[in-house]
Homo-oligomer: A and B are copies of this chain.
């Protein structure tokens, strides 16, 4: 519930960035992405996709497809642009108004959201009605904003329903009891949650909501590696260095990288803890940094759409390449390595919520500050997403300036509520480079990654951030694939 309240607060923040609270959406002067669509999508993501918005592949695919639909919906109003999945008739210059763009954006979102999250149709209907639009208007007239929006959204939805992620749940020949997003590639972990047969390989963690039901993790969407990227053809080209220190036969290096995680855990600052929590939530970190930048830069509606699309697509395309590497190396997480190395022997580390640093902590009782995500360790997905996001931002915005400062009230930690931070603090990102670096390091602070994984993830993210920008520039110049 804390997360939901927090989401609701952020939502108000996001809304207030563009809208006058209490006033209806003004189609002529408003910005539908931030005033209409995002405020409706965020609660659904927190409520029924990922309670902490930490399940990156699932969250990113939704945000990418929605922003893609915005891009495609306004392409016909641009002098040269084509959509990623549509090439609708170019509209006369006098039709290129924000009123038309807003209407097209909302209908495009409606079509994509009903494809991605059909169980929330009532929310999407209300979203349109709230904006003064008719959810039952299924016009396909390519020379009206409603028809353009519908066509653009339907094209994105159709192209992406079978992009490899198994959105429909029928991959692998399944007809009955379809299982959306289920693995169809046959991944099975080498280790069980109960036995670390191979200390170099990933071990699913045992997770609980705290009331007695325990469950074992499953690698989330291993099929992401087979999913269609936007900005390149083949994820195999983004190869990361072999994670030498995650190979337990390299005993000294294996131990050194685990010891580094313990040393960081023993010396966690409140700023590190709160930064780790920020970056664990992809909406609060990736999403809100983009909203902040678009406001401070005074981006037009058209620019806002382009910028949101390029940053989301950059992270999504990065995820595909990173999943390919995660699957290839299937590497061990710190919690398994630390138990393997030290068993019940004492280590010095963070001792759990409110316990601070403990000198004689049995290694088997150590846990990471952040909950560990449902996938193998190497490379770091979060580090790669932030690097892609930062690189796409630098390229689109033209410089490295960010200037984002996030005030954090005392005791607002989700991990240590009422305790951390002891005093109010601010998380500050003067530049995108700082944002990217702190994001990466925060995965070490959070105890869920080794250093090598962060560096490797950032390199892939930076590279694909550039490719995503190039791809969008191609679309803007009128070159479709």
A179 to B211 Cα, complex, angstroms: 9
Q: Is the CB of B214 within 8 A of A183?
A: yes
Closest chain B CB from A197 CB (angstroms): 12
Cβ of A218 and Cβ of B215 under 8 Å apart?
yes
A211 B50 Cβ-Cβ under 8 A: yes
Contacting A181 at CB < 8 Å: which of B50, B204, B211, B221? B211
Q: This chain: how many copies in the complex?
A: 2
Return the chain B residue nearest A167 by Cβ.
B212
| Those of A131-176 within 8 Å (CB) of chain B | 174-176
Q: What interface size band does chain A fall in?
A: 35 or more
The residues of B that contact A367 with a CB separation of less than 8 Å are 177
Give Cα A50 to B211, complex, Å.
Answer: 8
A358–B176 CB distance below 8 A: yes
Q: Within 8 Å of chain B (Cβ to Cβ): is A23?
A: no
Please tell me if the beta carbons of A365 and B181 are within 8 angstroms of each other in the complex. Answer: no
Question: Which of B58, B195, B361 meets A212, CB within 8 Å?
Answer: B58
Residues of B within 8 A of A218 (CB): 193, 206, 214-216
Closest to A169 in B: B210
**Whose C-beta in chain B lies nearest to the C-beta of A219?**
B214
Considering the chains assembled together, what is the distance between the CA atoms of A365 and B170 in angstroms? Answer: 11
Is A352 a contact of B58 with CB atoms below 8 Å? no
**Is A423 interfacial (CB-CB < 8 Å)?**
no
User: Shortest Cβ distance from A358 into chain B, in angstroms?
Assistant: 6
Query: What sequence of 0s and 1s flags, for each residue 206-244 of chain A, a beta carbon within 8 Å of any chain B beta carbon?
Result: 111111111111101100000000000000000000000
Inside 8 A of A341's CB, which chain B residues have their CB? none
For the complex, what is the distance from the CA of A361 to the CA of B173, rounded to whole Å? 12
Per a CB cutoff under 8 Å, which of B217, B221, B358 touches A215? B217
Decide if B181 touches A362 in the complex (CB within 8 Å).
no
Name the B residues within 8 Å of A208 (CB-CB): 179, 182
Q: How far apart are the CA atoms of A204 and B182 in the complex, in Å?
A: 16
Q: Identify A55's interface contact among B213, B352, B374, CB under 8 A.
A: B213
Q: Indicate if A252 sits at the interface (CB-CB under 8 A).
A: no
A397 at the interface (CB under 8 A from B): no
Contact indicator A211/B176 (Cβ below 8 Å): no
A212, B55: Cβ atoms closer than 8 Å: yes
Distance between A416 CB and nearest chain B CB, rounded to angstroms: 13
Residues of B within 8 A of A211 (CB): 48-50, 58, 180-181
A351 within 8 A of B: yes
Contact code string A115-129 (vs B, CB < 8 Å = 1, else 0): 000010000000000
| A215 pairs with B210, CB closer than 8 A | no
B residues in contact with A206, CB < 8 Å: 218
| Residues of B contacting A188 in the complex (Cβ-Cβ under 8 angstroms) | 192, 194-195
**Complex CA–CA separation, A358 to B216 (angstroms):** 32
The CA of A206 and the CA of B177, in the complex, are separated in Å by 13
- When chains A and B are docked, how far (Å) is the Cα of A287 from the Cα of B196? 43
**Which A residues are closer than 8 A to B by beta carbons?**
48-50, 55, 57-58, 119, 174-183, 188, 192-195, 204, 206-218, 220-221, 351-352, 355, 358, 361-362, 365-367, 374
Nearest 8 A-B pairs (CB), nearest first?
A181-B212, A215-B215, A188-B194, A216-B216, A177-B352, A58-B212, A176-B365, A214-B218
- Can you list 21 A-B pairs, Cβ within 8 angstroms, ordered by A? A48-B209, A48-B211, A49-B212, A55-B213, A57-B212, A58-B213, A176-B351, A176-B358, A176-B362, A177-B365, A177-B366, A178-B352, A179-B208, A180-B210, A183-B214, A188-B192, A188-B194, A206-B218, A207-B215, A212-B221, A213-B374
Q: A176-B358, A182-B214 are in contact. List 5 more A-B contacts (CB 8 A).
A: A176-B351, A176-B352, A188-B192, A212-B220, A212-B221
